[in-house]
Amino acid sequence: MELALFFFAFAVTAFGSVAYFAIVSPGFSARVLGLEMGKPRQIFMQRLTGALIFGILPLLIIRLIDAESIGDFGWNFPGSATFYWTMLLAAVVVPINYFNSSKASNLKFYPQIREWNWSVRLLIQSAVSWIIYLTAYEFLFRGFLFFASLGIMGLWPAVLLNTAIYSLVHYPKGHTEMLGAIPLGIVLCYLTFLTGNIWVAVFTHVILALSNEWFSIRKHPEMVIKNVWK
């Protein structure tokens, strides 16, 4: 059972990531689906696709193999330690995002939605889509793959495997994000092990993504946030 879970977890992570990047690529998104790259519809499609591949597919596999509970893969109610660790990591990543947000290398990729006029509605829609996508993303990496690996190889080999794949999937975003994913991946895996749930990883990743998006909009010379709904 443990070996089968690991096999499926590794396969979904590896091949699911390849499938995800193929579906959200310019060739497929623009030519096949007719979506304009960087526009809200394309980015929301991208994040929904990620939620389906990284979240729903692992959940279905777990249920089909008849694992006792998704709680075995970190989907547990967060305790006080989860919030303490999250606040500590937020105190680190938010200032880093603030100082990095104005760099050309960051503004090249973020915000992912390339709208010059941001309404309150678009900010909320983007935030919700980030939360859905990143919850699924962390359920795959720090949930399904990490806990399935723990069962057959122990803590540090599981951490190293998880972090290696996590770093590789950041390749499309450049070497800086690939390298940055290594220490973050190690920390998130270890805190997942300590707390027994994925929520430090989820909350931290959401805080990282949203703070970077909001700072990047503010620092982008051509983007503005308008106090309007539409």
pLDDT, tens only, 22-61: 998 888 888 878 889 999 999 999 999 999 999 999 999 8
- The pLDDT value recorded for residue 67 is 61
Please tell me which residue, 176 or 184, carries the higher pLDDT value: 184
The answer to whether residue 44 sits within a structural domain is yes
Does residue 137 have a pLDDT over 70? yes
pLDDT tens digits, 61-99: 888 886 667 888 999 989 899 999 999 999 999 999 999
Task: Name every residue whose Cβ is closer than 8 Å to that of residue 203 and which is 6 or more positions away in sequence.
Answer: 82, 86, 90
The answer to whether residue 131 sits within a structural domain is yes
Please tell me which residue, 76 or 228, carries the higher pLDDT value: 76
Identity of residue 3 = L
The strand pairing partners of 118, in sequence order, are 225
Domain residue limits at 153: 2-225
The answer to whether residue 190 sits within a structural domain is yes
Does residue 134 have a pLDDT over 80? yes
DSSP per position, 38-68: TSHHHHHHHHHHHHIIIIIHHHHHHHHHT-S
Does residue 184 have a pLDDT over 90? yes
Residue 225 phi, psi (nearest 5): -105, 120
The answer to whether residue 230 sits within a structural domain is no
Does residue 159 have a pLDDT over 70? yes
Residue 220 phi, psi (nearest 5): -70, 130
- Nearest 10 degrees: Cα torsion 211, 76, 9, 175: 20
Does residue 230 have a pLDDT over 70? no
The answer to whether residue 78 sits within a structural domain is yes
Domain count along the chain: 1
> Could you give the 3-state DSSP secondary structure of residue 58?
helix
pLDDT tens digits, 10-22: 999 999 999 999 9
The answer to whether residue 170 sits within a structural domain is yes
Identity of residue 127 = A
Question: Do 16 and 139 contact (CB within 8 A), yes or no?
Answer: no
The answer to whether residue 92 sits within a structural domain is yes
The answer to whether residue 69 sits within a structural domain is yes
Residue 196 phi, psi (nearest 5): 75, 10
Q: What is the DSSP letter of 31?
A: I
- The pLDDT value recorded for residue 99 is 94
Q: What percent of the chain has pLDDT over 90?
A: 73
Please tell me which residue, 144 or 228, carries the higher pLDDT value: 144
Task: Name every residue whose Cβ is closer than 8 Å to that of residue 83 and which is 6 or more positions away in sequence.
Answer: none
Does residue 173 have a pLDDT over 80? no
Averaged pLDDT of the chain: 92
- The pLDDT value recorded for residue 172 is 76
Q: Which of 14, 3, 2, 8 is nearest to 161 (CA)?
A: 14
